[in-house]
Homo-oligomer: A and B are copies of this chain.
Amino acid sequence: MPYENLGHANLPTLNHSPALGDSTQERILSAAEALYVTQGFDGTSLRAITKLAGVNLAAVNYHFGNKEGLIRTLLTRRLDPLNSIRLERLNAYTRSDVVPTAEILLQIMFLPALELAKSASPTGFNFLRLLGRAYSDPSPYTQALLSNHYATAIVQFKDAFAKAIPHVPAAELKLRLHFTMTALSTTLANHDLLRLMAPLRNKKSKTETDENIVLNQLIPFLVAGLVTPSVAL
């Protein structure tokens, strides 16, 4: 009688969209992720999830306890490895005495998300959209869950950005980082992103992936804003 195995130790191939070959938990998570990305927490019902997954309604409560438990494992199984890789790469710089630039710091925040998206997500972009959706989800439960994952990682990055951009006062840099994070998260969550990128994709080499296009466009945009001289106080 489980629903106690909320640990996300088993994330080997939670890839494909809800297919017949997968376990019940994996199919639930895949279906829930696909729906949560577009509908948000409140708009995603357990009946819609279980119907898409092709499993019984009670399976969610059996395997995850309740709806919050489902969303929690849904988010943590993505965010935990993401933040681990981010901090690992950031610490690699700080151990060596190299002071990373703002561009490198943004790459450290972006690249792991893109790499995980390519390796773990079914549709390729569902993982990125999950992150964006979670950050803008109004449900208090999601907000509370995110603030933990968000806060612990961002604190360390804030110090690194302060060293990379010493000419901007701390208060202003704080606000600029806030702008940066919101631009990142909502860009990832946006449905029209693929459509916006279409013309750019054609002009680039065919080996250029969609993820890299976003990276190559968004990072210079954000770097320019971050390092621009402080406005007169």
Q: Which of A's residues lie within 8 Å of B, judged by CB? A: 38-40, 42-43, 133, 136-139, 170-172, 174-176, 178-179, 182-183, 185-187, 189-190, 192-193, 196-197, 199-200, 203-204, 216-218, 220-228, 231, 233
Contacts and interface: CB of A to CB of B under 8 A. Distances in A.
A72 to B, nearest CB: 18
A179 B221 contact: yes
A75 to B, nearest CB: 15
Nearest to A43: B42
Contacts of A187: 178-179, 182
Copies assembled: 2
Given A182-B182, A182-B183, A220-B231, 11 more contacts: A39-B138, A42-B43, A43-B139, A171-B203, A175-B218, A178-B190, A179-B221, A179-B222, A222-B225, A224-B224, A224-B228
A22 to B, nearest CB: 26
A138 B186 CA distance: 12
B204 A175 contact: no
Contacts of A38: 138
A179 B183 contact: yes
A39 B142 CA distance: 12
Contacts of A183: 179, 182-183, 186
Nearest to A191: B143
Contact of A217 (B175, B217, B218, B226): B175
Cβ-closest 6 pairs across A and B: A42-B42, A40-B138, A224-B228, A221-B225, A182-B186, A183-B183
Contacts of A224: 224-225, 227-228
Given A200-B171, A222-B225, A224-B228, A217 B176 contact: yes
Contacts of A233: 203-204
Nearest to A198: B171
Contacts of A199: 170-171, 174
A175 B197 contact: yes
Contacts of A174: 196, 199
A157 to B, nearest CB: 16
A43 B138 contact: yes
A200 B187 CA distance: 27
